[in-house]
Structure 1
Amino acid sequence: MFKSKKWFRNFLQYIGLLGGSGFYVYQLSKGIHSVIAMGTFNPFGFLGLILSVVLGLAFNYFQIINWILILKGMKITISLESCIKNYRLSFIARYIPGSIWGYLSRSEWLYRSYGISYRISSWASLIEIIIPLLAAIMVIILYASTLAPRWLVSFFFLGSILAPMIIWRLMDFLRKRITWPLTYSEDRFYFPLRYWLTCVVIFLINWGLSGLMVYTLIFSLNPAFTSLNFFLAIRDWFKATFAFAVSWMIGFLVLFVPAGMGVREAALQNLLRYVFGLPYEQALIISVWSRLILLLSEGLWLIIGLFIHTEGEILSLPRE
């Protein structure tokens, strides 16, 4: 029975990988062809792409910092060098059928390299899953406040401020009472509020960076670009942040497609058309390039990790 379930899971993930990748390649080829045919590049285009890659690198860096802080909140200290070397490497598994979640692969890394139990690493990964989702919801609430009547704006802001503390309290309440499939009721699984709020703020910054990346790509394909417009259109930057955060959530929640490939791009394309009124072709290429830039950024961090030496690292670990 167990083998049958495992085979079925692998089959679904394999179909998800092929389907998502096929949809992704189709979007890429159609988008590049359409944009070249439109001739919508401007002199800022190349510089904009470089800036987007830098923002993608920063996005990945803050993800690594966020993971370090989550571990530190659980009284586990692992060096920045070790996380740079292994964080992205372990996440490659999300593109492989049968191990869609890089979180499982990372648990293997932590167990085999440092003896950190699966219970501890799984709890840390659960926290890491919830934090970006929570930060994305906060972005959605703040974006909704820009569309709401003025008398409702303060309620939206209050809701976005209270949401992290409410979710933290709810998680701490549930961890003491839910005992299946794993139990996290012991005191060592308590995650301090100060680390929780810090991680949420970091991911809000990350969503802002991703929005700026998308916003930069929009201007890279806009013949009417001026530097003044770029730096003054803060509202449009926030629109791009909203669009990327929502598309990431949609891609993340479609579990059978590895890393949301194709799904996230389709969602981002439609959101860009909705919030910016972009032509189909521009929205399509921007959504595909946003994925490529983040993939390139992950690859660059992988390369950086190859040159980092971590032998003899001393760790601070909780007792199991």
Structure 2
Amino acid sequence: MLTRLRRNMWVRLSLLALVCACAGAALYANWTQARGAVSGLPLWVLPAAALAGMAGLAAQMLAWRSLLAGLGSALPRAAAARVMFVGQLGKYLPGSVWAFVAQVELARDWRVPRSRGAAATLSAIAVTVAVSLAVAAVALPLSSVEAARRWWWALAAAPLLLACLHPRVLGRGVRLAARPFSRFREVAEAGPLRVEGGSVAASVGWTLVAWVPLGLHVWLLTWAVGGDALRSVGPAVGAYALAWVLGLLVVFAPAGLGVREAVLVVALAPVVDAGAALVVAVLSRLVMTVADVGWAGSAVLLTRAPGSGGGGGPEHADGAASDPATGPG
């Protein structure tokens, strides 16, 4: 029954329309809040920040793709982009779980078993949280003492979480999470879930790379509202890394709404006043919403889901996408 609903074009279109409406509403609300501040910025700042945000999201997509490949489903880059970026629009619905569900279901179009899709997404969340907290733990104590003092418990967890990324530990956690679903035929057919050390290392590497442009977009905005160019680097990178994690963990807030802003205002206090920090927070949310929508739209326009030409489902997928294991790197 659920499989038939998943393949039904009208159900998919209705869900996509709902998600796009929520993302559009978020974009409109962010623009309404940021419109007054935009007029005082150099014209190039927001486009540059949006491009930096998109570059960071692209690196995060490659981190997720590396984990999925290590689990046995190596998607082509274009297919991985479509699955992740379209699925990520689900975070604009109340409850971040919808992005998770959407990614797993969209990956089924490329014959990725739900068990592998879920394992890759859960592992990617673990990598993102651990690496991002490590970035914040390095940057904030030296640049934003108040933020480090207020959220010390999160920063202190970074070494432990990094240790949990060892393939044996991460693999055991993934298999434990999948155990309640082991009775389903699809899980059994997918085989045992084994997390490879190389895929974890690649994912960690791509996540570290992602924080260069992600931090850059906040630094550009902080500089544009009056922050010192050199002194703003540490607070900008550390603040957004911590804000990203805490926003991700508060699952009832759509895309971390409110949580990221609170962290940014406190962490940017050493370089800009509270009003300017709030402007940075609002502009950052606008920029990252544009980046999310831009990537999702590009992925839909530039790629075609298997079976969209009339096949009707993953069983009729053609070309490289029909066999993820042999798809192009």
Name the TM-score class by shorter chain: 0.7 to 0.9
1:300 match: secondary structure: helix
Ranges in structure 1 where 5+ consecutive residues have no aligned partner: 1-17, 148-158
Separation in 2, partners of 1:280, 1:144: 17
Separation in 1, partners of 2:140, 2:260: 21
Separation in 1, partners of 2:133, 2:171: 20
Q: Which residue of 1 aligns with 2:60?
A: 63
Counterpart of 1:197 in structure 2: which amino acid? Answer: A
Q: In the superposition, relative to structure 1, how do residues 115 and 87 fare at CA in structure 2: closer, same or farther (>3 Å)? A: same
Separation in 1, partners of 2:64, 2:97: 19
Conserved? CA contact 1:31–1:281, under 8 Å: no
Do residues 279 (structure 1) and 234 (structure 2) align?
no
Counterpart of 2:204 in structure 1: which amino acid? Answer: V
2:232 match: secondary structure: helix
162, 165, 185: which is aligned to 1:164? 162
Conserved? CA contact 2:88–2:292, under 8 Å: no
* TM-score between the two structures when normalised by the length of structure 2: 0.70
Q: Which residue of 2 aligns with 1:293?
A: 287
Q: Deviations over 1:188-234 (max 9, x none)?
A: 41111122122112112212221111110111122xx8xxx74xx2x
1:76 match: secondary structure: coil
Counterpart of 1:87 in structure 2: which amino acid? Answer: M
Separation in 2, partners of 1:178, 1:200: 21
Aligned length: 271
Q: Which residue of 1 aligns with 2:237?
A: 241
Counterpart of 1:189 in structure 2: which amino acid? Answer: L
2:52 match: secondary structure: helix
Q: Which residue of 2 aligns with 1:78?
A: 75
172, 193, 208: which is aligned to 2:197? 193
Do residues 251 (structure 1) and 259 (structure 2) align?
no
Do residues 115 (structure 1) and 111 (structure 2) align?
yes
250, 258, 261: which is aligned to 2:257? 261
Separation in 1, partners of 2:76, 2:302: 11
300, 303, 326: which is aligned to 1:306? 300
Do residues 316 (structure 1) and 324 (structure 2) align?
yes
Separation in 1, partners of 2:117, 2:301: 26
Separation in 2, partners of 1:92, 1:204: 23
74, 81, 93: which is aligned to 1:96? 93
Q: Which residue of 2 aligns with 1:203?
A: 207
Separation in 2, partners of 1:270, 1:162: 25
* Deviation for aligned residue 1:175: 4.4
* Deviation for aligned residue 1:125: 1.0
% identical aligned pairs: 20
Conserved? CA contact 1:74–1:188, under 8 Å: no
Ranges in structure 2 where 5+ consecutive residues have no aligned partner: 1-21, 144-156, 307-317
Conserved? CA contact 2:49–2:217, under 8 Å: yes
Q: Which residue of 1 aligns with 2:147?
A: none
Farther-moved stretch of structure 1 (204-213 vs 96-105): 96-105
Higher RCO structure, 1 or 2 (CA under 8 Å, sep 6+): 1
* Deviation for aligned residue 1:48: 2.0
Q: In the superposition, relative to structure 1, how do residues 99 and 248 fare at CA in structure 2: closer, same or farther (>3 Å)? A: closer
1:144-155 equivalence runs, <5 A = 146=142
Q: Deviations over 1:80-122 (max 9, x none)?
A: 11222332112222223477431111111122x1332221111
Q: Which residue of 1 aligns with 2:120?
A: 124
Separation in 1, partners of 2:159, 2:319: 38
Counterpart of 1:255 in structure 2: which amino acid? Answer: V
Counterpart of 2:165 in structure 1: which amino acid? Answer: I
* Deviation for aligned residue 1:65: 1.4
Separation in 2, partners of 1:253, 1:290: 19
Separation in 2, partners of 1:65, 1:178: 23
Q: In the superposition, relative to structure 1, how do residues 70 and 313 fare at CA in structure 2: closer, same or farther (>3 Å)? A: farther
Question: How big is the alpha-carbon RMSD for the aligned residues of Structure 1 and Structure 2?
Answer: 3.4
Separation in 2, partners of 1:213, 1:270: 18
Counterpart of 1:170 in structure 2: which amino acid? Answer: V
Conserved? CA contact 2:74–2:325, under 8 Å: yes
